[in-house]
Amino acid sequence: MTARYIEIYQQFKTDIIQEKYPANSFLPSEAKIASQFSCSRDTVRKALSHLEEDGFIQKQHGRGSQVLQHSLINFPISGLTSFQELKQVQRLDANTKVVLLERLQSTAMNRQTTGFPAKTKLYHLIRVRYINGLASVIDEDYFDRSVVHNLTAEIAAGSIYEYLENTEKLTISYAEKSVTAELISKQDRLLMPDLPERENRLIQVESRVHLADTTYFQHTISRHRPDKFQFNEFSRRQKK
């Protein structure tokens, strides 16, 4: 049931990662790929376009598609990737402690910060992420309870996204994110006791996450230890 062009995309993606096509080498021409997969050139082109967007190849008019240097570490943090997925891909020694899980209603006050209209029924969740035993990230989430129905501490300690996509059958689609450096609060110091006294800010990644039908359902504030924070991104220059 998965689309043909997605299969082709994945085939080349894994081949590139396994260095079957090493950096700087060229993929076969679109025509050759099309005959190999016995599909049309249009289908191949769709697959290659996605590989290009994601930074795996660079297409060159009249020359071919060249494989780019890729550090695996380069991709997973960018985009919309959950902590559990990160943990898997990067093979981190990581675990999660649920500090708070409560039900509440949004007020006019936190409407501005969370983006939810007043009186929306929400889950409020606070978790600390430990990497190699060190408290490295404080995650604070608000979920719209009309979308997320049965959130438990067990789910929150594992993968909420896995639960939402596989059990609740939701399609998580896009997010607006912002990265800033925010002053450290007393609560931050309590949750990150090893944080050196001289540090005065945490790196904060704020996200507003939406479903495929544009429903806004999650607001997340992730506060990172500044000495442990790294955000990697592949970006392309906009065409005129």
Where do contacts with a copy of itself occur on this chain (CB under 8 A)?
Answer: 2, 6, 24, 53, 55, 58, 60, 66, 68, 71, 74, 78-81, 172-181, 198-201, 203, 210, 212-214, 226-227, 229-240
Token pair in block for residue 126: 């606070």
Least Cα distance to 85 among 97, 94, 76, 72 occurs for: 76
DSSP string, 25-68: -BPPPHHHHHHHTTS-HHHHHHHHHHHHHTTSEEEETTTEEEEP
CA dihedral 178, 182, 188, 193 (to 10 degrees): 110
Contact partner, 78, from DNA, a copy of itself, none, Cβ < 5-8 Å per class? a copy of itself
Q: Which is nearer to DNA, 63 or 97 (CB)?
A: 63
Helix/strand/coil (H, E, C) string of 173-192? EEEEEEEEEEECCHHHHHHC
* Residue 40 binds DNA (CB under 7 A): yes
* Residue 1 binds DNA (CB under 7 A): yes
In the numeric block, the tokens 């660079």 are attached to: 58
Residue type for 156, please?
Answer: A
Contact partner, 200, from DNA, a copy of itself, none, Cβ < 5-8 Å per class? a copy of itself
Residues 195-214 that bind DNA (CB under 7 A): 213
Nearest-approach distance from CB 59 to DNA, in angstroms: 4
Contact partner, 43, from a copy of itself, DNA, none, Cβ < 5-8 Å per class? DNA
Q: Which is nearer to DNA, 28 or 226 (CB)?
A: 28
Nearest-approach distance from CB 124 to a copy of itself, in angstroms: 23
Q: Could you say which of 55, 64, 76, 115 contacts DNA (CB under 7 A)?
A: 64
In the three-class reduction of DSSP (H, G, I as helix; E, B as strand; rest coil), residue 112 is classed as helix
Rounded to an integer, what distance in angstroms lies between the CA atom of residue 173 and that of residue 181? 26
* Residue 43 binds DNA (CB under 7 A): yes
Nearest-approach distance from CB 47 to DNA, in angstroms: 8
* Residue 45 binds DNA (CB under 7 A): yes
* Residue 29 binds DNA (CB under 7 A): yes
63-73 burial: b if 16+ Cβ within 10 Å, else e = eebebbebeee
Applying CB under 7 A, which residues contact DNA? 1, 3-6, 27, 29-32, 38-43, 45-46, 48, 59-65, 213
